Structures are given as C-alpha cells and as structure tokens.
Structure 1
C-alpha cells in the first residue's frame, strides 16, 4: 500500500486506539512504580530502626558475655576448693552461672533473629529497587512510543516526503529528549531526592535520639541534616544551570560562554580557547540562546566523539551577521558519509536554518573539524 492511498482518518483511529491501550499500560506501570517507591521508603525506615536495635542488643550481649565469664570463673574456683564452701554458697554460684548462661543465650538468639530480619529487609529493598527501575525503564520506552505516535507521526506525516528518513529523524529527536529527561530524572532521584529522603528519615529519629542520647547528640544530628540540605540545594542549582544558564538572561551571551567553556576546560581533557569581538552587543534572547546551544553542541561533539585535545571557539561580527567558528584537532570524519554521530550536526543545521543562517562543516579523518556559522542579527529582533 502506498502512502498516497492511506486514509488519514483511518490512521488517526488506529493511532487513538493504540495510544489508549498504551496509556492504560503506562498508568499501571506508574502505579507499580509509586507502590515500589513507597515500599522502598518504608523498608528503609524499618531497616534504620532495626540496625539501631541491633546495636543496642550487641552492647547488651557483650555485657551478658562478661557476666557469664565471671560466673564461670567463680564456679571453677568453688569446684577446685569444694570442701571449703558451704552448701548455700555452692548453690548460689551454680544458680548465678546458670542464669548468666541463659541470659547470654537469649541475647545471642535475639541478635541472630535481628541479623536475619535485617538481611531479609535488605534483600527486599534490593528487589523493590529493581522493580522500580524496571518500571521506570518501561515507562521511558512507552513515553518514546507515545510521543512518536501522538506527535511527530501525526503532525509531520504529510510534511516530510521521505517516510523512512522522517521516522528516523523523528524517533531520534524523541529519543534524545527522553534520554535527557531520563538523565535529569536519574540525577534528581540519585541526588536531591535521595538526600531529602534521608533527611526525612533522620528527622523522624531526632526525637528518639533526644530521648535516648540527649540534646547534644540531637543537635549534632540536626547539623548533619543541615549539611545534607545544603548539598541538595547545590545539586538542584547545578541541574537548573544545565537546563538553561541563568547568566544567559542576566549577563548575556559572552559572559555565559566564558563561564561554560572555562567549566568544560576544567572538567575535561581538552584545552579550550575562546576569542570574541568586544564590540558584540546584547542580541535578541532567542538568538543568544541559539548560539549558546550551537557552541555547546559543537564542543560536546568535539570532546565525546572527535576525542579532541584542543578546541578553539571564536565569535565575531561581519556586517549585520554574527559569525561563530568552532575548530578542533580531533579524529574528524568524512562529511559525505552519514553516521549516527552526524545526528548532532543535523540538529545544528536545523537550528541554524530556523534562524535563516548558514552553517558549513569541513572535516577530514584524522585532521579535525571546522564549523562556520553565520546568522543575521536584525532578522531575529522582531521575533
């Protein structure tokens, strides 16, 4: 069947039914994930309390062991000089030894039960975590399918003539978006969310610590919690900067690029240099954001894919155009051969095209890559 003979209404009906079924599955997966998360929190709280109890029991066991040793020593002493002691003393020694042994056995048994219980809960926590991770992974895959069915396939179906390329390009965009969302979700879950969960659990124990160990230990716990909260706040600020550097709105393109490139230079093995024309003024926010993302994409490609050790970025003016060049000494590639890595460049070309600009890419295997971008400034002011 050709694409020209497809009935759009029939396709929409099929998509609607498919999406309804997938959404039902997604809701069930969400419920499983939420239930697993709640169970995970409850199990962690139980584990914390059990470990405290185990610590108390282990200290008591040491006391019982010491008492048992003393009672046994006294019994040995009396046995060696049996005729020197009266019946009451001998009976009391045997009773004390028996009582000490019973108390020690009870402590050891309780310690064993607690250790078994802790191991059981730790195994359960591991199982619940795996279930939660699987549910999250499946939901991410379902989101990718739903985004494609309800977005690109429905919206751009008639606009792109090459169906195979349309599908590949649309899916890659969605996958990139979903991967970014998944990365942010994982960072928030493993960073601020875990810290806040830990703060919540520890806050519930402060009253218990105050009652058992006094106010000094309770205040120490509060100080530790404050440090955790500060770490979480720092992590949240970093995530916000990754989403959109606030300096871009406040200070403009040049200072934001300086800050970004310095940070990349410090955290990577590549040496980055940045030159710019000091006469560049503030531009439309859309243009500044686009140039920042273009430089960001080119620099990341040079580091991750080209394995470059040197990267040079230059911003200049040519009449009414902003000119951006990014050059690296990486492994390069054949511009005539389409590869998976070229998806980043394809996205850059799309972005430049939306701004009525031009982009030129020169690259040779083992000789590095040179990117030249020219974008008209004044055409963006009315946008």
Structure 2
C-alpha cells in the first residue's frame, strides 16, 4: 500500500533531519539506506557492511559463527557499545534494532539500526550535573550569607548597642569630669562607626529588607547608597507588576543588579543607568542599561567574571541573558526569567 504524498514527505523530512543515525541494513549487514546523521556520525556508505561493534568483536572471538548481538537477541531494546567509523576511530553509541521487512523473495530480513551518539548524551548529562552543582554552591553561599548577616545583626549588633547604652550610663555618673566626658564621647563616636560598619557588612551579605519588603524596596536602598557614594551617577529604577517573587528569584535578581551596578561604577564611566523590571503571568523581564564607554567582551579578563556570574545566576533560574556592548556605545543586559519554581 502506497503512502499518501503528504505523509511520505513528512516521514522523509523526519528521516533526513533527525539527529539519531538511521540505517537500513540486510541481515548480512550490508547497508541499503542511511540518513545524513548516520553518514556524519560514522562516515559509512551505501553498499558497505556495518562493522561489528567492540562488544561483538570480543564476543565473536569466542564463537564459531560471528553474529550481531542485537540481531541475534531481538528482545534487547537498546545497547551501549563502541562502533568503529571510517576514519579508524571508535565512538560510544547507543544502538537498537528492529525487524522492518522480511524479504520473501531473497529470504533475507532487513533491519532498522538506530545509532545515538552517547558522547553527546554524556555531555548533556554532565552539563546538567554541573548546573546542579553550581546551583547548590550558590544556594549554600546565600544560606551562609543569610546566617552571617543574621548573626551580625542580632549578635554583634545587639552587643554593640548594649555597650552604647552602658556608655550613656557611665557618662551620667562622670558628667562633672570634663576630660573623662570628652573621652567617653570619642569612644561613643568610634562605637557608632563600628555599628555602622557592622550594619553595612550585614546588608552586603544579605539585605534584611529583601525578606521583609521584597526586591523593589531593597533595590531602592541599594541605589540610594550607590548614589551617595557616586553622586554624579543617576540611577533610574522602574517596575511594572513586581509583587513578591520566589525567594530564589528575588535574591538572584538582586545579586545580578548589584553585580551590574558594581561593574558600572567601577569601569563604565557612565552618567545614567536605567533598570526596568516587568513581571507578568508568564515571565519576569529585567533590563539594565548604561550610557558608559562600553567594552569588547573578547578583550575582558578578570572584569569579565562579573558578567559570567550574572549569566550563571540566570541559568540557575532557567532564564536567558543577552549582554550587548560596544566601545563608546554603552551596555545593556536583558534577562528573561520564566515564572520560576524550585526543582522538586
């Protein structure tokens, strides 16, 4: 029965464009057909015999009549082995076979042989493991930052505050001793400076406002501090639909903005920075752009690590990150995050 033309063309497109190698061979292992992926993977040609894989080569040394393990054992759904190619190398492949046409005229059965490059699959598996490890490292780092920030705020901060109160009490007893009162005043000033430093360190480790007020308020606090230190830089933050997000999204987007602003203040020589965040029912968009001197990323060295860290954080949220820059044309970072939920 002939297939309709449309159906035939559809199957032909699948055959020619799928990534797995598809080979039609006789029981004698002569190749009748093979798709482009099979040619690229193996270098074999129609009319040649499919060589035995490394497993069968070893296996056939122990039997009188050489045979293919997959053909001899039709119940095997898939099989891992090494297959020799035209250039003499062996590639790791996952193989499977199926009977597709018992030819009554020749008495020979034709088989479908499917080859999948196991190295590609292994690389994908390793990439997934690396992504998981990076995610675990980032999560562990943020958890430790949160713990340390809490310890600084509740432990060291409270102890310093108690010392300040104690100084007030001591001063009330020695107010008539001008020299001692002045000394206590100097100690109090130094103590206030240390308390300010502790609060700043705690905020850098993990902004307390992120858990209490959310991403927008925390970014506003960050921007206010940067503009106090760099008054010639104008930073504009606009948001749309940005309510509370998953904690992992909030901390990662905050760190991305923090890293980007650090790079801008240190390297970009910009006068204006615009940060826009939009959240809808499907995605979260974040755009950070400046009018600085720009850069050629290929020439970056240590400065490029910040951009790499941004990309890693976006990758952990299964998002996309496009960083565009050119000399004297500024820089833009466009990030898209799906409505993210942690993996279960």
Q: TM-score, normalization: structure 1?
A: 0.43
TM-score (norm 2): 0.47
Richer in strand (by share):
2
